[in-house]
Each structure stands twice: as C-alpha cells, then as structure tokens.
Amino acid sequence: MKWSRVLIRTMKENPKEAETKSHRLLLRGGFITQHQSGVYTFLPPGWKIMQKIQNIIRSEMNSIGAQELLMPSLTSGEVWKQSGRWETFGNDMFKFKDRKGKDVALAPTHEEVISLLARDYLHSYRDLPQIWYQLQTKFRDEPRPRGGILRVREFIMKDSYSFDRDWDSLDKSYQLHKDAYSRIFERCGLEFKIVEASSGIMGGGHSEEFMVFTKTGEDSVVICEKCGYAANAEVAEANIIENGSKENFSEKKIVHTPNARSVEDVAHFLDVEPSHIVKSLLYVSEKGQTAMVLIRGDYEINEAKLLSKLGTDFQLASPDFIKERFGIEPGFIGPDGLAADKIIADESVRQVERFVAGSNKDDYHIVGLKLSDIRIDEFADLRLVREGDLCSRCNAPLKILNAIEVGHIFKLGTKYSDSLDVKYADYDGTLKPIIMGSYGIGVGRIMAAAIELFNDEKGIIWPFAIAPYEVNLIEINPAKTSNFSDNVYELMTKSGFDTIWDERNISAGIKFKDAELIGIPINIIISENKAARGEAEIQIRKDASKYDIKVENLVQAINTIIEEKRL
RNA sequence: CGGGGCGUAGCGCAGCUUGGUAGCGCGCCUGGUUCGGGACCAGGAAGUCGGAGGUUCAAGUCCUCUCGCCCCGACCA
C-alpha cells in the first residue's frame, strides 16, 4: 500500500481526554477514535492490528481442536432469567424491550447461550469433549469506562467453552487452554504472568488470570518474588504478622472514649497498639440481614473475600442504618452483645488474647475483652493483603503490582449445566450434567497492553507479529527515486512482508516522526545517494540501529535482524 | 452513585472576571521555493461558541435548566 492512499491520520498534539499511554498513542497514531464514552471505532490501521491478534488467537485455538462458531449478541432475556444472571448482572447488562414488549439483552458474555446450544446438540458421552469458541463483540454497561480501550462498554472478546464428561477431563480442557493462551500472548509479544483469581459473577470453581504488569493496569496483583506465588489482590493470602507486644489489660472494663471512633483515634486515646483493637464493621443485605465483621485493628477488610462468604447482596451499612437499627454511632459498635444476625471474624482475631472493642454505647469502648466473652459464628480469611505482608507459602515479603487482565480461564463445573439443564447420557445410560469451562481473552486489551509495555517518547514500538505494517519504505525524495522504490516495494511484498510505502511528497522529518509514532518495526530508507549505489538503509524502531544494505541482500538482512533482535 | 475538571474550526487552546463585528498555533486547500528529522513564502476555506430557556438595545461572556466527555473513588469476568 502507498501511504498516501491509506487512512492514517496522526496527531502531533495529545488529545486532552487521554491519560494513559496506550490511550494517547492509539489516538495520536490514528488507530482508534471515540464514538461515545467507552465505545470506539477501530480505524483501518487499528483494525489491522486487531485482525492480526485475532488470527494468532484463531490459529492457537484451532491447534487445540477448538471449533469456531458465532453466537448472537442480541439475546433473549429469558435465558438470563433461567440462569439467574438477569439479576446478578444487574445494570452491567444492556437490557431493553423489543417492540412486542419482550425482554432482550446485549450479551455481556455467552455461557447461557452456549449452554443451550450444548443442550440441543450434545447428548451422549460419545459427543464429548468439545471446545467451541467465537470472536464476538460483548456489551457491558460499565459504571465507569476508563483508560481508553482498557475498560470499555463494547469490546471484542475471544470466548471459548469446554464441555466434558467429568472433572478429570475438564482439567485437560483447562490445561489445553492454559497452554494455548500462553502461546497466544507470547506470539503477540507480551510479557505476562498467570495468577490465582476470583471467579466472581461467572461462578464455579478455580480460575486463573493472565496478567500484564503495567503502571496503568486496573487490577492489583500480589506477588512473591521468592517462591513465585502470584494472585489477584481480591483472593491473595498472606500470613498474619504477630503483634509483637503483649496486651496489658488484666480485666474487662468499660472506658470513656469520647469522640474516639476510628481505630486510630482509639489507639491514640487509650495509648494501645492498633493490633490490640478489634475493628467491628456492620454489613447489611438487601433483605435487611445484618452481619458483624471483625478484624484486627491493623488490618483492612478485603471486600471481595468477605462478599464471597456473605453473598454479594451485602454491603457496608450506612451510619444512619446503624443508628436506626441499634441506636449507636458506628464508631462504637462492637461484638459484645450486639444483636447482629451473624458475626464473622478474620483469622487475625484469633491471635489476640485480650483486646479493645466498641461497647455498643456511644463514647465508650471495652478494654480487656476476651474471645470467650463474645459470640463468633465463623472464622475466615477476610484480610486485604498489603505490600510487605509475608507470603503464606514461604514467608518472604510480598509485593503488589498493577496489571492489565488480558485473559481469564475458569473451571465452571456444573453451574450452568445445572441451572439450564444440560445433560448427557453416560456409558450406563444415566443422565449426568456436562462439566463446563469458560475461557476469555480481551483482544483490544492485548493491543493496549502491548503499547503500555512497548513505547518510548517518540511513540509505539509494536512487536513484529501485531504491527500495523511490518516494513515501511521511507522515500526521502520521491521525485528522484520512485523507480528504485518501486522495485524495493515489489521485492518486499513478494517476500511476504506486510509493507507500506511512504511516497508522500513532504519533508522527510514528518515521515520519520510518523513512522516512529505508529511504531512500524522495520523502516527502509531510500535516498538518492544510496539508491545510486544500489543500497537502502534499514532502520530498526526498537533500538534505532541502522544498516546500509545492497538491495539484493535486503530480504536476508531483514530476516536476520528479525531473528537476532527478536522483533 | 459521590468528588473534581472540561465542552469555542479536524486537534491543542485563548477570549468569559468587566456583555459590544469570534481569535491563535497545528492541520487542511491553491501556487511557488525546498528535500535525511514535524522547512519556508504568498494566498485561501472552515466554527448553530454542546443544547434549551431567560436577562439585555446587544450574550461565547451573566442567570436557570439540561446533555456530553475526562479524571479520582465506589462498583465491576
């Protein structure tokens, strides 16, 4: 393609709405343009990248025997009601009524639709296992789209689903995906890590995420550099750090603590360590069930962990609710005799012998309370892991890093087979639920993650495999070298390189700047002098290295460079 | 949903305090000179000032309402 014929519209200045690197560079490079909040058009160069990524995904999915299909985005509300996710997705799902008044939804994911397909087409153990996948637009009405293409309301996802006879067979399908995903992200040039994850609203059992570590990632990942433990902060575990000093409360007594509400206030007022205080939080469900949550004063609650215990319809009670229900200011509630429906405590609470807690009377706390004095219905790991907490496997200090989630794999089990009645007949003729897995990849996120990972002050440095063009012919003076350039262009194209030819009649500086901004890995500079000697200059975007090469040796030289520099 | 910011030409912005013919840079078009790092000269086109209502002789500017976009938080495979 000649540059002047391609819709490449670069911008010298930063659009003001863009904060993150990938967002800025995608806009400046003319790869995307915004249509509304969280909804983008992929312009031709951007869509080329998306297609290259999708082709890599296809080839790796096909290699594990997965079959591509395409399901509808416009789905009937009925199937979501059957699985129960009409409610659990809530406003995150785009829902509306058709002209007949029937509920419909734009699919945010496709477990329901594919489960119904499986129910119609898979009847016998002979039909299993199966892996089906699609590359399809998903719709999610995110409360706050952000980071350009990182969190959007309409996006292309590769989603696949496995159907197996039993759990061992699911393990195999899961492992096939895990390996295929690793190859996909490697081929796209990404650096990534597989981490333990929360399965959240997808339901089911074990799940892992493929994370790309970048400053702008919106997920937090806890990692141990010593033993390699890595987990999403939502599920990460850590050892409880002993609270060094010994409590010196000899007996239980009520003390006046006017206006001391927070752990910090109370610790300061009574001159005790925060780890000698037990923090009491009240959660309330939509139905009005109350749960008191206890945790050692120097820790914070991890709400993802807590809600997986309590149920997602619980939320932190408002001060007004607490006043109304119990007649106490939130700062003074405590486990001693409060009529909460349930009392759940973090494991760290076991660790204190005598402690300070709210007294359930305004402006008073209890000191010297013992565990045996109070009712605790359940102990659980509810702690939010902090940087520097100790690894639960090897006791080394943990780190917390931001990351972009580019893939997520789940062992669903029978959640959808049960709710949607997806069964097969086994050897002995008995009907059993099909065991399912579900596996997603965010195509646009791969594109954004690659930019976050590989850029400099001049622009993007695309990995060769997903670059919008592999080779760019920069003609310094088109009027004088067009025949020569034509030959080089032919040569590159015939040799299989995805080549663009910048024959624009503008100053060379602009061509260099554009090439650097949009990140083409290999540039071939054609100048009058060198052309006269039968040479062209190769410039590599990644390290700015330059080589003068005879045209007849060009292809070989480029192949060698790609190999050696691992473009 | 809470907090903050912003809507003026394709992009980046000034003009608003103190109402009086809508501007600048980049980009775009025409002609010319240039031609290895966003070059120069001359000429030109392009804006319902996000929208509605109001105040006023007069509104980009003041008032009311409203829509949209971005950031932080809440929330979220």
pLDDT in tens, A208-221: 999 999 988 889 99
* Amino acid A502 CA to nucleotide B46 C1' distance, rounded Å: 28
Q: Which bases of chain B come closer than 7 Å to a protein CB? A: 1-2, 6, 11-13, 25-27, 34-39, 68-77
Domain ranges of chain A: 3-236+400-451, 253-380, 469-565
Q: Is the CB of A206 under 7 A from strand B?
A: no
Instruction: Please give the average pLDDT of every successive group of 10 residues along chain A, which has 567 residues.
Output: 92 85 93 92 95 98 98 95 88 91 95 96 97 96 90 95 96 97 97 86 77 90 92 89 69 84 83 86 84 88 83 79 83 84 88 85 88 88 88 92 93 92 96 96 95 94 97 93 94 97 93 95 95 96 96 97 96
> A348-353, long-range: CB within 8 Å, 24+ apart, which pairs?
A348/A240, A348/A295, A348/A296, A348/A299, A348/A383, A349/A278, A349/A294, A349/A295, A349/A296, A349/A376, A349/A379, A350/A379, A351/A240, A351/A242, A351/A243, A351/A296, A352/A243, A352/A247, A352/A275, A352/A276, A352/A278, A352/A296, A353/A247
Yes or no: say if A403 and A443 are a contact pair by the CB < 8 Å rule.
Answer: no
Q: Is the CB of A318 under 7 A from strand B?
A: no
Write the burial class of residue A364 (CB in 10 Å: 0-12 exposed, 13-18 middle, 19+ buried): middle
With b for 16 or more beta-carbon neighbours within 10 A and e for fewer, the A15-36 pattern comes to eeebebbbbbbbbbbbbbebee
Q: Is the CB of A457 under 7 A from strand B?
A: no
- At CA A413, angle to CA A407 and CA A418, rounded to 5? 125
Q: Is the CB of A330 under 7 A from strand B?
A: no
Residues 6+ apart with CB under 8 A from A420: A79, A82, A83, A112, A115, A116, A119
Per-residue confidence (pLDDT) for residue A271, from 0 to 100: 82
Of A340, A240, A239, the residue nearest A280 (C-alpha):
A340
Q: Is the CB of A151 under 7 A from strand B?
A: yes
Per residue in A13-61, pLDDT (tens digit) is 888 888 889 999 999 999 999 999 999 999 999 999 999 999 999 999 9
* DSSP-assigned states of every residue in A315-356: EEPPHHHHHHHHSS-GGG--SSS---SEEEEEGGGGG-SEEE
Per-residue confidence (pLDDT) for residue A260, from 0 to 100: 81
**Protein chain A, residues 54-93, with a C-beta closer than 7 Å to any atom of nucleic acid strand B:** 92
Q: What is the dihedral of CA A92, A97, A103, A109, to 10 degrees?
A: -40
Residues 6+ apart with CB under 8 A from A502: A3, A472, A473, A474, A475, A511, A514, A515
* Amino acid A142 CA to nucleotide B75 C1' distance, rounded Å: 9
Per-residue confidence (pLDDT) for residue A494, from 0 to 100: 97
Per-residue confidence (pLDDT) for residue A106, from 0 to 100: 95
CATH class of A3-236+400-451: alpha beta
DSSP state of A409: E
Phi first, then psi: give them for residue A443, nearest 5 degrees: -65, -45
* Element at A39 (helix H, strand E): strand A39-42
Kindly provide the ipTM of the predicted complex, given to two decimals: 0.93
Per-residue confidence (pLDDT) for residue A313, from 0 to 100: 75
Taking C1' of B34 and every protein CA, the nearest residue is A507
| Superfamily (CATH) of domain A469-565 | Anticodon-binding domain (3.40.50.800)
Which CATH code fits A253-380?
Answer: 3.90.960.10
Per-residue confidence (pLDDT) for residue A230, from 0 to 100: 92
Q: Is the CB of A19 under 7 A from strand B?
A: yes
Nucleotide nearest to A14 (CA to C1'): B12
